[in-house]
Amino acid sequence: MNLLFENDTAGHYPASYYAATATDTAPMPALQGAHKTTVCIVGGGYTGLSAALHLAQAGIDVTLLEAHRVGFGASGRNGGQVGSGQRLDQIDLEKMLDRAHAHQLWDLAQAAKQLVRDLITDHAMTLTFQPGVAHACRRAHEVAHTHQLAEKLEKDYNYDQNELLDKAAMRDLMGSLAFHGGVIDWGAGHIHPLNFAIGLGKAAMAAGAKVFENSLVTHIETGAKCAITTDQGVVQADHVILACNGYLGDLAPKVAARVMPINNFIIATEPLGEAAVHILAKPIAVADTNFVVNYWRLSQDNRLLFGGGESYGYRFPDIVKTVTKPMLEIYPQLAQTKIDYAWGGTLAITMNRLPNFQRLKGQIWSAAGYSGHGVAIATLAGKLMAQAIQGHSEGFDLMARLPQPRFPGGSLMRWPLLVLAMTWYSMRDRLGR
């Protein structure tokens, strides 16, 4: 089985709200025959597209191969949140690393957010960056930590974009009794994720990158040159960038040992009309504090886009049933609301939720495992790998120094152990611990 094809139709975007509102879905041709290039990129999500754009802008010959369509994977299916910092907060990072390293990671993450905003503006993409992401505490004891983090960011990191919310303010903001408080990060934001990927693809091609869709990479042979084989052609390259995230498959076992694919799901309601203001009083995105995170926002036409639930096998479950349950726990008033769209996608996690940057055999570069925090970081990852190939690897090396334990159990047991662990965490969420 192959996650690239198990739940999707070859060469087609899933039937998502994002695909229905995409700006341009005209396909690119598939790779045919033999080609030569300086850098070959495998994967047409944020990481690969950003790398292609930055390499092409530097005058480097670059070819990108995407098994389906640009933005087909997690990049075109996610919640659209452009979050601050890394996937682990700065308190946890300072405990794990030295303070200097934690500060450098914060600076990189800030640069990642700005990169997204700059790319949207510089390339006149048909989407907007909407400020505001709320972090909503499901348990009372979490509020103190959330406020403490906001205060630490202002004191130690000169970041003053967090608005503290108590229980009453959170209730007024969200129209829900499920939360005890939290913050709104006004320096974070949210976007139309598929249109961002499409915009990156257009920008990369305008800069001179060659982009091929419906070009499944089946094998990579290393040597003096790398040979990247697809089902209809082959590319000879000096460097290879692996930008596959959860769809890596068997292409790089050393990456797969530290990066695990999981599935996540989103539904979109019918337009809520004037009732939308009672779901979210401000045009922000939200993520709660469950280990299996729920996240949501309103679309431009006032639909609730609600993400939640995870699965760990190849086949997607009943998505509407899976996601409606946590949505109604938060918004029981939506019990009779029609669901117009439901879709799933595969992302990738690491053991410690920090992204995995690796250089393999000197010529192959990889970044993956964004753990649900990839819109900004994945876009930056592409730029960092493009810079590293040009001899400026400081940013890439900083990310590559992050501790990255292997998933336990080897190739046979790591998946069942992951399922066991995630089941325990989801049970903890249900028990409110």
What is the mean pLDDT of the segment spanning 199-213? 98
* Residue 190, phi then psi, degrees to nearest 5: -150, 155
CA dihedral 48, 52, 54, 58 (to 10 degrees): 150
What is the mean pLDDT of the segment spanning 403-407? 88
| pLDDT surpassing 60 at residue 56 | yes
| CB contact at 8 A, 262 and 347 | yes
Report the phi/psi class of residue 348: left, alpha or beta, with left for phi > 0 and alpha for psi in -120 to 50.
Answer: beta
**What does pTM read for this prediction?**
0.94
User: Residues 6 or more apart from 125 whose CB is under 8 A from it?
Assistant: 119, 195, 196, 199, 202, 203
pLDDT in tens, 93-131: 999 999 999 999 999 999 999 999 999 999 999 999 999
| pLDDT surpassing 50 at residue 424 | no
| pLDDT surpassing 60 at residue 359 | yes
What is the mean pLDDT of the segment spanning 188-193? 98
The per-residue pLDDT for 313 is 74
pLDDT in tens, 60-75: 999 999 999 999 999 9
| pLDDT surpassing 80 at residue 425 | no
The per-residue pLDDT for 422 is 52
| pLDDT surpassing 60 at residue 20 | yes
Sign of CA dihedral 175, 176, 180, 186: negative
What is the mean pLDDT of the segment spanning 335-352? 95
| pLDDT surpassing 50 at residue 429 | no
The per-residue pLDDT for 3 is 81
* Residue 137, phi then psi, degrees to nearest 5: -85, 120
| pLDDT surpassing 90 at residue 145 | yes
The per-residue pLDDT for 418 is 53
In the chain, pLDDT over 90 holds for what percent of residues?
Answer: 85
Domains defined for the chain, CATH in brackets? 3-78+194-258+353-419 (3.50.50.60), 124-189+261-349 (3.30.9.10)
In the chain, pLDDT over 70 holds for what percent of residues?
Answer: 94
Tokens of 278: 């009672």
User: Residues 6 or more apart from 46 whose CB is under 8 A from it?
Assistant: 75, 196, 197, 200, 374, 375, 378, 379, 381, 382
The per-residue pLDDT for 49 is 98
The per-residue pLDDT for 26 is 87
The per-residue pLDDT for 25 is 79
DSSP labels, 301-350: TS-EEEEEEEE-SSS---HHHHHHHHHHHH-GGGTTPPEEEEEEEEEEE-
| pLDDT surpassing 90 at residue 373 | yes
Rounded to an integer, what is the distance from CA 233 to the centroid of its chain?
Answer: 29
Residue in this structure with the two tokens 């500060």, named with its chain if needed: 103
Pairing assessment for the beta strands 233-242 and 226-230 based on DSSP bridges: antiparallel
User: Residues 6 or more apart from 226 whose CB is under 8 A from it?
Assistant: 40, 220, 236, 237, 238, 239, 240, 363, 364
| CB contact at 8 A, 304 and 298 | yes
Distances, alpha carbon 339 to alpha carbons 119, 174, 210, 267, 271, in Å: 33, 20, 38, 7, 10
Residue in this structure with the two tokens 């299996």, named with its chain if needed: 292
User: Residues 6 or more apart from 45 whose CB is under 8 A from it?
Assistant: 71, 72, 73, 74, 75, 76, 197, 243, 245, 378
Count CB atoms within 10 A of the CB of residue 264: 25
Q: Strand runs (DSSP E) across 101-168, as ranges?
A: 130-136, 162-165
pLDDT in tens, 301-324: 999 999 998 887 778 999 999 999
SS3 of residue 215 by DSSP: coil
The per-residue pLDDT for 119 is 98
Quick one: pLDDT band at residue 419, thresholds 50, 70, 90?
low
What is the mean pLDDT of the segment spanning 324-338? 97
The per-residue pLDDT for 250 is 87
Count CB atoms within 10 A of the CB of residue 161: 16
